[in-house]
Amino acid sequence: MLRIAICDDDVNAVALHKKIAENCLMQCGSAGVITAYTASDNLLYDITEDGFFFDLILLDIEMPGNTGMEIAEKIKPCLPNVKIIFITSHIEYAIDAFELSIFRYVPKQDLDRRLSSAIRDAVKLIELEDGKSYTIQTNSRLEKIPYKEIYYIERDGKYASIFAAGGASKVRKSLQQVYGELNAEEFIYIDRGCIVNMIQIMQIKDGMAVLKNGVPLPISRAHLQEVKAQINNYWGTHI
């Protein structure tokens, strides 16, 4: 069950965005609950104080009280994996939106066409990320790490070190063994000793894979073109 929030100080805009979101959920065959807000402070309070959880938030940028940009910055510690779609009439905000790792930027001038597409893509990605986890089992512990929280995995001697949102974990297996157990196309080799989750890659720059948590990882020259091709193919297939 997807949880979606819509926040805009314009009541008519909220109603329109909610209708578009409902149609998108229907088209995707997905179940969801949509919560509407006309006051940005109420949305912020529900998330930061009452612990409300949302998978996707549609935010107007220009609002009284906390702006959409301010909300996005303040809720990230509470909802690190939330997908945010910014809706605005000012194109200059797009640069700042990129800095905040916003999923999509939709100009109000092209709302009908681009908002539906953005919501459908977000729903597909959320469902793609959900439901899979990697299990580490020893005599003393059982640990499950959701795939969507894994940033990368490195070879560490006889171990493989898994770096995820909740911290680092080690498993006494080869990197190739872990890769085979993951059995998921979003995990790719960028070097003989490193596997990366494509969902976590923000950009490829100067031979580095820059992840959403800010960590830059070197891509070996032998893997660079293949990595780019795999990323393009993955997102072309799923989004």
pLDDT digits (tens, 9 = 90+) for 121-176: 999 888 877 767 888 876 666 788 889 899 999 999 999 999 998 899 999 999 99
Q: What is the 3-state secondary structure (H, E, C) of 76-131?
A: CCCCCCCEEEEEECCCCHHHHHHHCCCCEEEEHHHHHHHHHHHHHHHHHHHHHHCC
Residue 204 has pLDDT above 70, yes or no: yes
Question: 3-class DSSP state for residue 209?
Answer: strand
Architecture of domain 133-238: Beta Barrel (2.40)
Dump pLDDT digits (tens) for 58-98. 999 888 888 888 999 899 888 877 899 998 876 655 545 44
The predicted model scores a pTM of: 0.63
The whole-number pLDDT of residue 103 equals 83
What mean pLDDT value characterizes the chain? 88
Write b or e for each residue in 14-41: b if 16 or more Cβ atoms lie within 10 A of its Cβ, otherwise e.
bebbbebbeebbeebeeebebebbbebe
> Tokens at residue 110, please?
């092209």
Least confident of 85-94, 109-118, 216-225: 85-94
Domain topology for 2-129: Rossmann fold (3.40.50)
Separation between Cα atoms, residue 156 and residue 194, nearest integer Å: 10
Q: Does residue 195 contact residue 188 with C-beta atoms inside 8 Å? A: yes
| Annotated domain spans of the chain | 2-129, 133-238
Residue 216 has pLDDT above 50, yes or no: yes
The whole-number pLDDT of residue 98 equals 47
The whole-number pLDDT of residue 78 equals 87
> Tokens at residue 45, please?
């309070």
The whole-number pLDDT of residue 54 equals 94
Least confident of 17-31, 87-101, 103-117: 87-101
The whole-number pLDDT of residue 101 equals 59
